A and B are shown apart, each in its own frame.
Chain A
């Protein structure tokens, strides 16, 4: 008998949750992690099977959601998201075996973690609205609980949890309304029948449901201006959870937008996609600017997630734009580039979050200015962090290079068409891509240079030791894949093309060359990352050998030049704040930093300063100008509305009467 892998994934996830809930403290960490790994393996096998065949995998049961049926159908588009989520899941669960965060060992966390992993894998397979929202909400609540596990120790955690809880539920409400709107017209809640009727819908229904769903999914993806929860919640979550959230959960926001926009609605007018591109560009720029100026390592990584999600939406927007102007093969390239970036981002962001958590566990801090000197003390974790950073900075021969290059190509080839909206969108898109690329390089030079190079900046960093092998095995798995897929992208690109064709059209000719090269057919530009990797190894070996030949490899270690000072201390090193300072100055209008200088003078003379405190902070401009204002407005509204119910029974009767009349008029 052949086992249905989707059913197996669901069962394994639930079994893991139960095992985590009922066993002893020592056992539950192992059992829930191992069940989590098993869930991911089963999901990964399912996804690979689907990606290599033409048939979707189906599982249906009326026993769980009685009225609608628990209905899963994994097609090739969803399978890509399942595969990338499963890889991150396996790595995070291995990492968790060694992770000694106190909160994550609790009963609640062990119950919820396997469920979170399971829903991450099953959301892309849901095929009716109830199943989708059921899984989506379990995912949201599970991740919320996991963010909150350390709330007793740090007050910031509950604040982060509040932001996340509010944003995720507003998003879910928006998704619900959007789907209901479509379901009303389709007279069915299955995605397939929605897709069948989508072309006959009035345009206001199409537009409003698309934008409602864009808002809902955008808030999960961390698209600006709906990103404010992300740099709060992702850093506060315990290590493996932050990796799962930043590398896998945000992708499902992208999944939703693409599934609805290009799948269910089957594309839309140009201005939809220009909006998507604009939001993507805004997210990319805003995220990269904030990550360039952050000094908290995990906050930096969280903002960089917003940045990368922005790039993916830029690609998706370009794909929709090309499709709406009738350039099918260009749309395919853009979508392949966006999805490839999604898959690769999962790898490097997962490895970065996991290795950052290792650094945090070893030093007790995630402030860059109290790390430093860790590459020599934690060589394995340091190297994993370095590889992740170089991948995200798109340096060849690591995987980020391939996807960013392909994104650039899709925009280059979109230009010659005569459509004016393309002519403006594409160069702007390339400019955004380039600026964020440059800022990402700066950000990760800072993260590596301040975080793990140089002299240790604090005593805990000086005493740090390498973490347990399970932790670096988990993170190292992902960074090894960064290297593997960067050198040999042909291992994944065909699957990504298959998965994109599911939405763009199976009859669109494949415009990409195969083999070791990545590029477009017909001599339109190609790269050969494998050759580059080979050349880098050969040239580094030759020059290193020559250096050894010319000069004896003996190197004298001496103190660095300190302008004549006697000793060089870690206090004299450049800090993360000062590293990002030029960026803050250049983009002062966008970042609007606040400075505060308190100086107290000596009583004898005001020319002598007794003590001075300088404080500078960089709030999120959207949080301050949009959300705080909105919250203040809401509070004002609430306090005024409190005057209405004053205890008088006559007034309450009048309210009832007015409401009845309004309902009657509205229904009549």
Chain B
């Protein structure tokens, strides 16, 4: 019943490979769904993978005044995301290396900070604008995120992700309590904001006045751009997988064995694809919010998460 070190390492490796290959595909799928709903054919699902391969061959250019931060940032972004994927339970709880919900937030912050710093390092107005907006949205999303995670940790009495997952598998009645639903709603809003999706940021726009994320990575080219794109899509998929497992924990492998692992992989993939489809479908009918309306959305998410904590104490 105990995980051997080898099996834990191989699960982590499997998660890394799965997310690294799967996340561009999910982006392709979301684009395809959006195009189909809008009545267009759309590019093939594997298009983001093809783009990454193409970019890897292109020339790398770096701005004249940039320092080593600019070249290191894409690596740090991808590395921290992969570390998160490796240490949190995604396919199986066997990959949990003291994975803590709050620590996840701080690790994600490393990626955001390094991209924002690289944007300022270019010395252009676009970079500064994007970094300023992204950090503001991130700062406003933080309270909602942490309080939502607090609400999710209270019933299990722990912020360890594995503990939360295992305890909620044994207590299915936790899964539909109002505090969980409120907290998860807040969490989902934050995921949308953090990954730069509509209505907070439009990932397909290149209109300078509205860009947030695209403005930051404008100067990247070649393999660096490929790394940034890959890192960003992995962040989205990682957050969706975490959300999916917290929302519906069934399916994740809680014991060693290849069959459980395959079930875990399939169920996580299904959860992520389901959530991706949901986001893509909702995005079609949505316009981007004005930048200064975003705080209201984040305040709304914060209220939801505070209500979640309060109701978790009132209901019991």
Q: Do A and B bind each other?
A: yes
Interface residues of B, count at CB 8 A? 86
Q: Mark B122-164, 1 if CB is under 8 A from A, else 0.
A: 1111111101110110111111011100110110011110010
Q: Let me know if B242 is at the binding interface, CB within 8 A.
A: no
Q: Let me know if B170 is at the binding interface, CB within 8 A.
A: no
Give the complex CA separation of A372 and B124 in angstroms.
12
Partner of B227, one of A413, A433, A437, A547: A547
Q: Smallest CB-CB separation from B59: which chain A residue?
A: A556
Partner of A445, one of B116, B218, B224: B116
Top 7 A-B pairs, shortest CB-CB distance: A574-B128, A449-B120, A438-B139, A438-B142, A454-B123, A539-B79, A434-B146
B120 smallest CB distance to A (angstroms): 3
Tell whether, in the assembled complex, residue B157 and residue A416 are in contact, meaning their CB atoms are under 8 Å apart: yes
List residues of chain B with CB within 8 A of the CB of A617. none
Give the complex CA separation of A561 and B132 in angstroms.
19
Tell whether, in the assembled complex, residue B159 and residue A412 are in contact, meaning their CB atoms are under 8 Å apart: yes
Q: Let me know if B201 is at the binding interface, CB within 8 A.
A: no
Tell whether, in the assembled complex, residue B158 and residue A454 are in contact, meaning their CB atoms are under 8 Å apart: no
Partner of A586, one of B140, B142, B143: B140
Give the complex CA separation of A559 and B76 in angstroms.
24
Give the complex CA separation of A637 and B86 in angstroms.
68
Q: Mark A490-533, 1 if CB is under 8 A from B, else 0.
A: 00000000000000000000000000010100011111100110
Tell whether, in the assembled complex, residue B56 and residue A550 are in contact, meaning their CB atoms are under 8 Å apart: yes
List residues of chain A with CB within 8 A of the CB of B126. 561
Q: Smallest CB-CB separation from B308: which chain A residue?
A: A427
B143 smallest CB distance to A (angstroms): 4
Q: Let me know if A562 is at the binding interface, CB within 8 A.
A: yes
Q: Let me know if B302 is at the binding interface, CB within 8 A.
A: yes
**B 31-61 contacts with A by CB, 8 A:** 56-57, 59-61
Tell whether, in the assembled complex, residue B100 and residue A525 are in contact, meaning their CB atoms are under 8 Å apart: yes
Tell whether, in the assembled complex, residue B64 and residue A454 are in contact, meaning their CB atoms are under 8 Å apart: no
B224 smallest CB distance to A (angstroms): 8
List residues of chain A with CB within 8 A of the CB of B64. 455, 557-560, 568
Known: A433-B146, A523-B158, A526-B98. A570 touches B310 (CB 8 A): no
Q: Let me know if B222 is at the binding interface, CB within 8 A.
A: yes
Known: A453-B117, A531-B97. A408 touches B146 (CB 8 A): yes
Tell whether, in the assembled complex, residue A394 and residue B313 are in contact, meaning their CB atoms are under 8 Å apart: no
Give the complex CA separation of A521 and B188 in angstroms.
31
Q: Smallest CB-CB separation from B62: which chain A residue?
A: A555
Size category of the binding interface on chain A: 35 or more
List residues of chain A with CB within 8 A of the CB of B72. 540
Give the complex CA separation of A535 and B227 in angstroms.
18
Q: Let me know if A573 is at the binding interface, CB within 8 A.
A: yes
Which of B1-9, B105-113, B254-262, B279-287 binds A?
B105-113
Q: Mark A570-591, 1 if CB is under 8 A from B, else 0.
A: 1011110011111101100000
**A 403-459 contacts with B by CB, 8 A:** 404-405, 408-409, 411-413, 415-416, 423-424, 426-428, 430-435, 437-439, 441-442, 445-446, 448-450, 453-456
List residues of chain B with CB within 8 A of the CB of A524. 157-160, 163
List residues of chain A with CB within 8 A of the CB of B127. 454, 574
List residues of chain A with CB within 8 A of the CB of B78. 539, 543
Give the complex CA separation of A373 and B136 in angstroms.
23
List residues of chain A with CB within 8 A of the CB of B147. 427, 430-431, 434
Q: Let me know if A393 is at the binding interface, CB within 8 A.
A: yes
Q: Mark A339-381, 1 if CB is under 8 A from B, else 0.
A: 0000000000000000000000000000000001101100000
Q: Mark A204-218, 1 if CB is under 8 A from B, else 0.
A: 000000000000000
B35 smallest CB distance to A (angstroms): 29
List residues of chain B with CB within 8 A of the CB of A85. none
Known: A527-B100, A539-B83, A578-B132. A442 touches B139 (CB 8 A): yes
Tell whether, in the assembled complex, residue B160 and residue A396 are in contact, meaning their CB atoms are under 8 Å apart: no
Give the complex CA separation of A420 and B232 in angstroms.
41
Known: A438-B142, A556-B62. A445 touches B117 (CB 8 A): yes
List residues of chain B with CB within 8 A of the CB of A580. 132
Partner of A438, one of B63, B125, B143: B143
Known pairs A539-B80, A586-B140; list 9 more (Cβ under 8 Å).
Answer: A427-B147, A427-B150, A431-B146, A431-B306, A434-B147, A445-B135, A454-B123, A555-B61, A559-B64
Tell whether, in the assembled complex, residue A531 and residue B98 are in contact, meaning their CB atoms are under 8 Å apart: yes
List residues of chain B with CB within 8 A of the CB of A555. 60-62, 71
Q: Let me know if B82 is at the binding interface, CB within 8 A.
A: yes
Q: Let me know if A172 is at the binding interface, CB within 8 A.
A: no
Q: Smallest CB-CB separation from A552: which chain B residue?
A: B60
List residues of chain B with CB within 8 A of the CB of A531. 97-98
Q: Let me know if A483 is at the binding interface, CB within 8 A.
A: no
Tell whether, in the assembled complex, residue B65 and residue A532 are in contact, meaning their CB atoms are under 8 Å apart: no
Tell whether, in the assembled complex, residue B56 and residue A551 are in contact, meaning their CB atoms are under 8 Å apart: yes
A29 smallest CB distance to B (angstroms): 34
Tell whether, in the assembled complex, residue A435 and residue B143 are in contact, meaning their CB atoms are under 8 Å apart: yes
Partner of B136, one of A409, A412, A544, A582: A582
Give the complex CA separation of A579 and B125 in angstroms.
10
List residues of chain B with CB within 8 A of the CB of A437. 142, 146
Give the complex CA separation of A341 and B219 in angstroms.
38
A372 smallest CB distance to B (angstroms): 8
Known: A373-B65, A547-B227, A555-B62. A525 touches B302 (CB 8 A): no
Give the complex CA separation of A438 and B137 in angstroms.
9
Known: A434-B146, A454-B65. A416 touches B139 (CB 8 A): no
Partner of B124, one of A408, A526, A544, A561: A561
Give the complex CA separation of A378 and B118 in angstroms.
18
A380 smallest CB distance to B (angstroms): 13
Q: Smallest CB-CB separation from B87: which chain A residue?
A: A535
Give the complex CA separation of A499 and B103 in angstroms.
26
Give the complex CA separation of A393 and B105 in angstroms.
12
Q: Mark B151-182, 1 if CB is under 8 A from A, else 0.
A: 10110011110010000000000000000000
**A 573-628 contacts with B by CB, 8 A:** 573-575, 578-583, 585-586
Tell whether, in the assembled complex, residue A401 and residue B116 are in contact, meaning their CB atoms are under 8 Å apart: no
List residues of chain A with CB within 8 A of the CB of B121. 449, 453-454
